[in-house]
Amino acid sequence: MIGKETFHKISVVFLYLFFVLSPFSISLCQIFAGASIFFFILDSIYRRQFPSLEPNLLIWILLYLGYLITPVLHWDTTNWKQTLLKSEFGDVWMAFLLTFHSRLSPEEKTGLKGAIRLGALALILSGILSLLSPYRLAPFVMDGFQYLEGRRLPHLLVHFLDKVSLYLPIGFQSTHLTYGGLLAIYLPSLWERTAKGWFIAKKKQKYRLSLIWYLVLSSLGVFLLFLNQSRSIWFGLVFGLFLISLHKKVSIKKYLPILGLGFFVLTILLFLFYQNNWLFQRAIDDLFAKRSLENQRVWIHKMNFAILKDFYIFGIGSGNYSFEFIEKANVIVARLPELYYDLSITPKSHAHFDLIHFWLLGGIISGISFLYFLYLETKNILEDTKHTIFYLGFFAIVFAGSFQCFLLDDEVLLPFLGILCLLPARKKRENFTGSKFTFQNSKNIFLLLFLWILISFLGALYLTKTPETELFVHRARTKHNFPTALAQASINASLPVAVQKGTGELYFKLSGCLDHTINFKETQRVRKTPVQLKIHWEEKVEGELPESLVLEIRKRESFDQDKEYRVQAERIVKTENFVHLRSKQTIQVDPKDHLGNELEFIDFGFLYTWKENVNPYLPRIEITGNCD
């Protein structure tokens, strides 16, 4: 016979399983969250006691309802099945996790916090496994503990002693960003427990073993977070700690020595890691690179603000971001054909900025709803003065959401909403603290949050001011495809480039242009005009230009390497020799020659040779964006 608490207890059990097992699978995450909400609804119907609709729940639902304004205005042309079930609006059901906030008892919330610590343990164990595994864990397990040809492999971090290899830790997740987001949500539960254990162990020695256990787990979590290289999460956690220290009025001077020592040690570790790990080196370099193959936020924000300019009131509607992105990109490609490839491989699924994405889809209503939701939840967290560290992940995700759309990732969004339902109910919180929250007491926290969102928004807008012609460059690379600054300096230079004295020969490859004309709406066709460049051998220099040149005409595949996770194959199709040149040389390649089965690049290889004991100079190479 069904008791009065049966459905409620079942919903709590599923919620417990949701927190523990979310690190293993997005499917498990959705199933247990959905089952918990389902039994919660059954419990409400059985009791005839429907949950109170708190402001945070209503505001989050309003955010999603904003996605439907434009589809409703164009109801006759809207694919409603696609819009309601297979787009961003389909995630609206997750909001109902927030209904647990007022229904769970303090004891149940305490138990669920224990589940989050177990989930953190699962996250750490899976991270260690992925650190050591040459295969991605999720597909490897799904394929029956075997590797199937063509499956993506993990990024190699380091290989030492010719025996041990370490890989980018991502647990059972598909990307390092998702794993980093989950670490940000789960690890603070261990840090809070470690901090409490520290003070308890000082008074009671029997708790020292427990302290050591949590200290080891916390350290492993920080280590994995460091190796995971989710830079936005790193800075997000630091930002969150800063906000909490302001709220708790922590004296920074008191901790300056240990902070200074920690900063010094961290700087040394970062430097050593930067010098010895190409993946980390790329991650840091991209922070300061105006143009790089990996950093495509300039293009993304150019499209974002172009769309926002036209749809800032009502938005574009759920599921329409990719379409509108391509519409705006196609205008650029029509004017500058050489930009097609860079735009084609730029991610088009989301705006890489949570606030901007919500605004783009739902207009002003969704944008304001998101900001108000942040205010409400920040207020709730600051009211729970004894457990603010536990909710540190909230601030980390909000901060990091200015670089990636973490709240569009189900694996991150579900636990993000889940931990918020563990905040004390308002009445119980007031009874416990004996005082009410006032905006005046924490105005600096809200001011800093607002300033960060404003500054990051203006920063994204600033990126759009970069001229489109400056975003394309013909890249010079070594034989093994590493960038070569020396050769790059000779591309479209104003003068010949000096080379280190004693250099006998120099080889590099230069990326050219596609052998087909193509945009986002038309079928590709073989390019009619030749691909060409000019080598300025006629200019006088203080030293000597190369005595000879072996020029390679190369063909290279054009698929998205990050998506396919394999290197573009390339081949030499023709070789030409030039000796004792003193005049400008125009090199032309007919796109019809050496056609492959797919769209390909026509590239060039240069092998310059100088006489002995001369001051060598590289001739400047003139090449337009579209190789015209």
CB 543 within 8 A of CB 614: yes
Burial class (CB in 10 A: 0-12, 13-18, 19+), 38: middle
Judge residue 275's burial from the number of C-beta atoms within 10 Å of its C-beta, 0-12 exposed, 13-18 middle, 19 or more buried. Answer: exposed
**Rounded mean pLDDT, 571-597:** 88
Q: Comparing 23-32, 76-85, 423-432, which segment has the lowest mean pLDDT?
A: 423-432
* pLDDT value of position 270: 65
Instruction: Identify the CATH assignment for 474-623 out of 3.30.300, 1.10.3470, 1.10.3120, 2.60.120.
Output: 2.60.120
Residue 294 has pLDDT above 50, yes or no: no
CA atoms within 13 A on the CB side of 171: 30
pLDDT level of residue 292 (50, 70, 90 thresholds): very low
Domain ranges of the chain: 7-246+352-461, 474-623
Element (H, E) at 536: strand 531-536
As a whole number, mean pLDDT of residues 540-569 equals 83
What pLDDT, on the 0 to 100 scale, is given for residue 148?
80
Among residues 175, 177, 160, 172, the alpha carbon closest in space to that of 128 is found at 172
Mean pLDDT lowest for which of 127-141, 168-182, 284-298, 528-542?
A: 284-298
> In whole angstroms, what is the distance from residue 479 CA to residue 481 CA?
6
Please tell me the predicted confidence (pLDDT) of residue 390: 93
**Strand-pair partners of 606:** 508, 551
183: pLDDT strictly greater than 90:
yes
**Mean pLDDT value across the chain:** 86
Instruction: Give the confidence band of 366 by pLDDT, cuts at 50, 70, 90.
Output: very high
pLDDT in the model for residue 53: 82
Q: How confident is the model at residue 181 (pLDDT cuts 50, 70, 90)?
A: very high
Percent of the chain exceeding pLDDT 70 equals 88
Token pair recorded at residue 604: 């060039």
Sign, CA dihedral 135-141-144-149, equals negative
Quick one: pLDDT at residue 434? Answer: 46
**Amino acid 327: pLDDT:** 93
User: Poorest-confidence range of 177-186, 270-279, 564-573?
Assistant: 270-279
494-529 core/surface letters (b: 16 or more CB in 10 A; e: else): eebbebeeebeebebbbbbbbbbbbbeeeeeeebee
- For residue 260, pLDDT over 90 is answered with no
Is a pLDDT exceeding 60 seen at residue 1? no
The predicted structure's pLDDT at residue 413: 94
